[in-house]
Chains A and B, each alone.
Chain A
Amino acid sequence: MVAKNIGEPVLRKEDARFITGKGNYTDDINLRGQAHAFFVRAPVARAMITSLDCSAAEAADGVVAVLTGAQVAEDGLGSLPCGWMVLSKDGSEMKQPPHPPLAADRINYSGEPFAVVIADTLQQARDAAELVEVEFDELDAVVSVADAQSGPQIHPEVPDNTNYDWELGERDETLKAIENAHHVTRLSLVNNRLIPNAIEPRAAIGDYNSGTDEITLYTTSQNPHLARLVLTAFVQLAPEHKLRIIAPDVGGGFGSKIFIYSEETVVAWAARKLDLPIKWTADRSESFLTDAHGRDHVSEAELAMDENGNFLALRVKTLANMGAYLSTFASAVPTYLYGTLLAGQYKTPNVYVEVQAVMTNTAPVDAYRGAGRPEATYLLERIVEIAAQEMNMDPAELRRKNFIQPEDFPYQTPVALEYDIGDYEASLDKALAMADYAGFSARREASVAEGKLRGIGFSCYIEACGLAPSQVAGSLGAGVGLWESGEVRVNPTGSVTVMTGSHSHGQGHETTFAQLVASQLGISIDDVEVIHGDTGKMDFGMGTYGSRSLSVGGSALMKAADKIVAKGKKIAGHLMDAKSEDIDFDDGEFKVRESNLSKTFQEIAFAAYVPHDYPLEELEPGLTEKAFYDPANFTYPAGTHICEVEIDPDTGVTSVVKFTAVDDFGTIINPMIVEGQVHGGIAQGIGQAMLEHGIYDETGQLQTGSFMDYCMPRADDLPNFDVGMTTTVCTHNPVGAKGCGEAGAIGSPPAVINAITNALGVREIDMPATPLNVWQTLQNATHEDARGE
């Protein structure tokens, strides 16, 4: 049954409060008598703390306390853990160094906090921080990924600065296929380091109630229950039932607000220690220095083909930068979210990938929009593009030739995943038509006539979303289950309050979930309120990341709504003297089949709460249902992105003149919200491809620590996007949805770079393709040509 609400571009319910300044973000919350925290951070990347004297700071005006790593240790606060165990080739467990919330004796990255000043005002805390006397014995820092394994050892627990040496796929078969192939395309590439930059920086308020011995932590979290679990079970902050986490409106996360950080932990701990509400809001500099960064891979790949361009084997070797500590999900990103995606949309029979995770004296690196899948897609779609050049084949046709076909599903890839459904040719064809590929050569001639270079680039991506089947994730090392919970509470008047364990921080769940539940119950979306982000209100939930909310969280809600309808039928049957199996529920009405008897949804709700005429001996009163949903498989959104660029060869300035995205997200509840997600993702992908780059100098100082040096995409860097959809419905979740949150950031970077190399007539250019980089690449190519002639 597809109800009328599903598929409609309903305006977002939450926007009224956001655009009128009525949002309630963590920093909007002020508690009576609250103090402010200011963290004292290391200005060096690697050092021993030889002395630390906080007495002058403690004596300063307004200072309540100065707390250090030693006090954290004294109070028995544990290490911030990494939640996903990855095993090396030899079966050994990954090497994980301890990560104290405040550094006690060793500094491992620039910006690492080693003390916190708590004072009546933020200004007093800031001023007192200047009085903290600290001496460092500086040590040589390890910065570059490529040199990490031969550099000085950062942690005693991690020899060769290597956390693990992981592999996936059939090594021998792959190597044999490469050795015997007609042609092998080889590529080395770097996936540039990114810094997340959500609009709202991280923030936290710790509040302790000594009467109930309960801590409440208001914080910018994508997954408050998971944060509570980690802070209680692992960090030992409090018993789980004595910590409540409230993540109110959150202004963007992109992964960076999944993780358990020092500051939020310390604020909650200090609130109890000092019996005082304590507030901290990161400034932008702190965000740059300490929010978990993204990507940062160095890879080599080989793609083997027969004489007709059929892919025979892919081999990949990757070094992944983990930074100074293993962040919450860091270990999974370059392995189970990366290696498993290297089959892409292609029926390559042999794929073998090796990944070494290395530590450096830089901020921890973890999931960032796409998390592993952008890295896999970039590598695969770059090498396929170069293979087309080398085989002298049309890049679209080479891809088409190797696609997994609709009749091949379910399709078992050589890298663990089983794709349930897809139609890759459909999205390629639609994208080619929308992008007017046939007209490209005429457009290129027109550009050339104006002294410009024009190029077109393709990317056919796939991602694994809807994290995840718990048993599969568990067998691969995940420390948690990955289901989702949902609750539908029907109020006596028939309006509905929905509780979800997912968390919305820009995705518009208050609208999408309301549409979903309203359509299931045949009521107006105005009668549905969606509540999320408070461990005191809803059942345990897993939060939002990995494009999982609709396919997992939405499915839980759909199951809960189905239970409401089933119970409603029993109540309706009683009221209308019919068997519940003879009741049909349609468009908000319970009808007795083959009769004109009916009751509205509101009448049934009222009867459930005012059970004067009610089968109390068989049925409980009330109308509230819960469901937990654990998916049977990942979902596999896929699609084709086509980018067209025009380059001024004199300056290297590159304009994205046309960008087409055709995606298959399965069932779509709200096409406007989906399109918005795609737009945002593409903007981030173009940012990675052309503008953004997190850079440390050789001593481990972050050189791109502000918006002066770290270039975020702006509106005038982007064209109007042409977004289209094709649909194959996910086979294993009740909504039929696949997830749309990350696709834009996953699919777009290789499309942009492929367009730029196509325009320049070169094989390679690294991201970000800044004007200088493009101009230099063009100069080098011109000089090489000149030498060749």
Chain B
Amino acid sequence: MQLSQRVEIPVARESVWLALNDHRILMQCLPGCEQFEPSEENCFTIVLLAKVGPVKARFQGQVELSDIQHATSYVLSGAGKGGVAGFAKGSASVQLADVEGSEGATVLTYAVNSSVGGKLAQVGSRLVRGAASKMANEFFTRFVGVVTNNPEQEVLIETIES
């Protein structure tokens, strides 16, 4: 499954970057996230309760940040196991840029490449994309709320067709 989106955030790039590297903020913004703890450098242990169609499972896994370019980009990759429900794994490359002509605003683009296995694939593969975009929308709505300190802040999310 591939998903690519572009999000405008009315906050300076440096602040967005700091938030993107704060695991407490990530945990707070990620729907269903029950744990997001650093394990070693740039690595985190996460627990995530996710629902895809008829499959609801608690996924446990590792997330790693790599190719880190300060305030510009990183790659977030991870894999989680949901027991009998199967597994999910994937990576997202995230990039930040200033919004042209607009002081203190940032455009975040990301591209996710993910795959699922087991029961999740068997009954849910048709639904994974929908579940993923819903999760992304919720994440960025919360994230923008946190970085702007305004939970009502409107968020412009645009899906990039591949």
Q: Which residues of A contact B (CB under 8 A)?
A: 40-41, 43-44, 110, 126, 129-130, 285, 288-289, 697, 699, 701-703, 705-706, 708-709
- In the assembly, what is the distance between CA of A289 and CA of B83, in Å? 17
Known: A44-B118, A699-B117, A701-B117. 6 other contacts (CB 8 A): A110-B117, A126-B84, A129-B83, A701-B116, A703-B121, A706-B122
Tell whether, in the assembled complex, residue A130 and residue B122 are in contact, meaning their CB atoms are under 8 Å apart: no
Tell whether, in the assembled complex, residue A697 and residue B125 are in contact, meaning their CB atoms are under 8 Å apart: yes
Smallest CB-CB A-B distances: 9 pairs: A705-B122, A43-B118, A701-B121, A130-B83, A43-B117, A706-B123, A43-B86, A703-B125, A702-B122
- In the assembly, what is the distance between CA of A41 and CA of B86, in Å? 10
Tell whether, in the assembled complex, residue A285 and residue B84 are in contact, meaning their CB atoms are under 8 Å apart: no
Chosen A-B contacts, 17 in total, with CB atoms closer than 8 Å, are A43-B86, A43-B117, A43-B118, A43-B119, A43-B121, A44-B117, A44-B118, A110-B118, A110-B122, A129-B84, A130-B83, A285-B119, A285-B123, A697-B115, A701-B117, A705-B122, A709-B123
Contact of A709 among B86, B87, B126 (CB under 8 A): B126
Among residues of B, the one whose C-beta sits closest to the C-beta of A135 is: B81
B81 to chain A, nearest CB (A): 8
Specify which chain B residues have a CB less than 8 angstroms from the CB of A40 in the assembled complex. 84
Specify which chain A residues have a CB less than 8 angstroms from the CB of B87 in the assembled complex. 43-44
Specify which chain B residues have a CB less than 8 angstroms from the CB of A705 in the assembled complex. 119, 121-123
- In the assembly, what is the distance between CA of A126 and CA of B119, in Å? 14
- In the assembly, what is the distance between CA of A542 and CA of B117, in Å? 39
Among residues of B, the one whose C-beta sits closest to the C-beta of A136 is: B87
Specify which chain B residues have a CB less than 8 angstroms from the CB of A702 in the assembled complex. 121-122
Among residues of A, the one whose C-beta sits closest to the C-beta of B119 is: A285
Specify which chain B residues have a CB less than 8 angstroms from the CB of A110 in the assembled complex. 117-118, 121-122
Specify which chain B residues have a CB less than 8 angstroms from the CB of A288 in the assembled complex. 122
Q: Is the interface of A mostly helix, strand, loop or mixed?
A: loop
Among residues of B, the one whose C-beta sits closest to the C-beta of A40 is: B84
- In the assembly, what is the distance between CA of A288 and CA of B119, in Å? 11
Tell whether, in the assembled complex, residue B123 and residue A699 are in contact, meaning their CB atoms are under 8 Å apart: no
Known: A43-B117, A110-B117. A289 touches B84 (CB 8 A): no
A288 to chain B, nearest CB (A): 7
In B95-126, which residues have CB < 8 Å from any A CB? 115-119, 121-123, 125-126
For B53, B83, B116, B121, the residue with the greatest tally of chain A CB atoms inside 10 Å of its CB is B121
Specify which chain B residues have a CB less than 8 angstroms from the CB of A708 in the assembled complex. 53, 123, 126
Specify which chain B residues have a CB less than 8 angstroms from the CB of A126 in the assembled complex. 84
- In the assembly, what is the distance between CA of A110 and CA of B122, in Å? 10
A130 to chain B, nearest CB (A): 4
- In the assembly, what is the distance between CA of A285 and CA of B84, in Å? 12
- In the assembly, what is the distance between CA of A559 and CA of B116, in Å? 58
B69 to chain A, nearest CB (A): 29
Specify which chain A residues have a CB less than 8 angstroms from the CB of B84 in the assembled complex. 40, 126, 129-130
Specify which chain A residues have a CB less than 8 angstroms from the CB of B115 in the assembled complex. 697, 699, 701
Among residues of A, the one whose C-beta sits closest to the C-beta of B115 is: A699
Among residues of B, the one whose C-beta sits closest to the C-beta of A709 is: B126
- In the assembly, what is the distance between CA of A285 and CA of B121, in Å? 11
- In the assembly, what is the distance between CA of A701 and CA of B116, in Å? 8
Among residues of A, the one whose C-beta sits closest to the C-beta of B126 is: A709
B90 to chain A, nearest CB (A): 12
Among residues of A, the one whose C-beta sits closest to the C-beta of B122 is: A705
- In the assembly, what is the distance between CA of A709 and CA of B53, in Å? 13
- In the assembly, what is the distance between CA of A709 and CA of B120, in Å? 13
Specify which chain B residues have a CB less than 8 angstroms from the CB of A43 in the assembled complex. 86-87, 117-119, 121
Tell whether, in the assembled complex, residue B126 and residue A701 are in contact, meaning their CB atoms are under 8 Å apart: no
A125 to chain B, nearest CB (A): 11
In B41-81, which residues have CB < 8 Å from any A CB? 53
Among residues of B, the one whose C-beta sits closest to the C-beta of A695 is: B125
For B84, B115, B122, B126, the residue with the greatest tally of chain A CB atoms inside 10 Å of its CB is B122
Tell whether, in the assembled complex, residue B122 and residue A285 are in contact, meaning their CB atoms are under 8 Å apart: yes
- In the assembly, what is the distance between CA of A44 and CA of B122, in Å? 11
Specify which chain A residues have a CB less than 8 angstroms from the CB of B83 in the assembled complex. 129-130
- In the assembly, what is the distance between CA of A89 and CA of B151, in Å? 73
- In the assembly, what is the distance between CA of A43 and CA of B119, in Å? 7
B26 to chain A, nearest CB (A): 26
Among residues of A, the one whose C-beta sits closest to the C-beta of B87 is: A43
Among residues of B, the one whose C-beta sits closest to the C-beta of A702 is: B122
Specify which chain B residues have a CB less than 8 angstroms from the CB of A289 in the assembled complex. 122
Specify which chain A residues have a CB less than 8 angstroms from the CB of B53 in the assembled complex. 708
